[in-house]
Amino acid sequence: MTDLDAFITGLPKAELHLHIEGSLEPELMFALARRNGIALPYADVEAVRAAYAFSNLQDFLDIYYAGAAVLLTRQDFHDLAMAYFDRAAADGVVHAEIMFDPQTHTARGVPFSEVIEGLLSAIAEAQARHGLTACLIMSFLRHLSEADAFATLEEAGPWLDRIAAVGLDSSELGHPPEKFARVFAAARERGLKCVAHAGEEGPPAYVTGALDALHVDRIDHGNRALEDEALVRRLVDLGMTLTVCPLSNLKLCVVDSLDQHPIDRMLKAGLRATINSDDPAYFGGYVADNYRAVAKARGLSRGDLAQAARNSLTGSFLPGEAIAALCARLDAFVDAA
Ligand code: ADE
Ligand code: ZN
């Protein structure tokens, strides 16, 4: 391990943009397929990995939803999340806010209770095993209807006190934030925070829509906001956190190469950019791999990397005292490094 590797791993950091279904490694996909008697359209793990060549978001989503078909029981969701937490802890993640897509599972007849109880039991075990904290972001699939999102919010009723936020993901183009304004208002009335994918493939107007129609607390991705200077100023003035995902951006062709990744421009502009893995099993790296990749490609300094980690702590939904304690831990680590 180089000094820089050790610095990146040792930085106390939060992961704020992680789809738990996107952490399903091919090995676990095969193990769960066997356990549940499900046939996979791949001969082996290598064939699965070979299929992970995407030219846009939709290419990826088609394969990602197909992979999720092996997840049936609460034990499956527990095992999936524990595998992620073990990796996250090894990467220096002290807090994780993980998205899950209930509609991907309830549409296949998997009860909402199985999904969420499996995830909640993993969160408790991760806290005991690694001392890391985690919370849940229930994401609506934007290619589905407003009515379907409302039904999902309704179904989540008994667990709302154990869900931190609602999110918005899946196919961005053609599904602007405004489509979900009423669902997000209902979620906010129930005390939930709000996040939304915006500006990954969609235009800057979708980032504006996430602010004005959804009143989000964070923007997931936000890359295309950079095309609009006034919008960048607005995001800076708001102190809005952006959950940026470099390896995802590369694999989904949001950038042609990591050499062109805008993370350093974002940080220099004063945007509260963070570094995250999105769907690590599909994009070839967990959170520390993402830090390392942009450190190398964009020459980020230790100060930049520490700023990204600090942004992840201050942009989290943890209580203020917990954020202050983690920031003090980060400062002590940086001072000692
Ligand atoms: N679902 C999982 N990963 C996603 C991404 N990067 N964008 C939109 N929806 C997603
Ligand atoms: Zn995402």
pLDDT for 1 equals: 76
Answer yes or no: is 135 within a domain. Answer: yes
Looking up residue 248, the CATH number of its domain turns out to be: 3.20.20.140
pLDDT in tens, 268-305: 999 999 999 999 999 999 999 999 999 999 999 999 99
C-alpha 18 – ligand 2 centre gap (Å)? 6
Q: What's the rounded mean pLDDT across residues 208-214?
A: 98
DSSP annotation string for 135-202:
EEEEEEETTS-HHHHHHHHHHTGGGGGG--EEEEES--TT--GGGGHHHHHHHHHTT-EEEEEESSSS
Query: In which domain, by residue range, is 236 found?
Result: 3-25+74-336
Amino acid at site 28:
L
Look at the chain and report how many structural domains it folds into. Answer: 1
Which residue's CA is the nearest one to ligand 1's atom 1? 170
So what's the pLDDT on residue 78?
Answer: 98
Name the residue type at position 204.
P
Please tell me the predicted confidence (pLDDT) of residue 57: 95
The answer to whether residue 157 sits within a structural domain is yes
* 56 located within any domain: no
Ligand 1 atom 10: residue of nearest CA: 170
This prediction has a pTM of: 0.98
Task: Report the C-alpha gap between 188 and 193 in whole angstroms.
Answer: 6
Q: Is 117 in the pocket of ligand 1 (CB under 6 A)?
A: no
In a domain? residue 49: no
> 221 CB under 6 A from ligand 1?
no
Q: CA distances (Å), 209 to each of 17, 138, 145, 196, in order?
A: 20, 20, 17, 10
Query: 83 lies in a domain?
Result: yes
Average pLDDT over residues 70-92: 98
Ligand 1 pocket test, pick from 200, 207, 247, 250 with the greatest ligand atom count within 8 Å of Cβ, gives: 200
Residue 188 domain-assigned? yes
pLDDT at 22: 98
The pLDDT, as a whole number, for residue 239 is 98
Residue 170 Cβ inside 6 Å of ligand 1? The answer reads yes
Q: How many CA atoms lie within 13 A of 75 on its CB side?
A: 4
Is residue 332, in this structure, part of any structural domain at all? yes
Average pLDDT of the segment spanning 208-230: 98
Interval 91-150: pLDDT, tens: 999 999 999 999 999 999 999 999 999 999 999 999 999 999 999 999 999 999 999 999
Spatial separation of the C-alpha atoms in residues 101 and 117, rounded to whole Å: 14
Average pLDDT, the chain: 97
- Residue 15 maps to a domain: yes
Q: What is the mean pLDDT of residues 260-274?
A: 98
What's the burial of 157, exposed, middle or buried (CB within 10 Å: 0-12/13-18/19+)? Answer: exposed
Q: What does the pLDDT read at residue 2?
A: 82
Q: Would you say the CB of residue 164 lies under 6 angstroms from ligand 1?
A: no
d(CA 318, CA 164): 10
Token reading at 3: 């000094």
Segment 190-205, tens digit of pLDDT: 999 999 999 999 999 9
Closest CA to 248 of 229, 220, 271, 272: 220
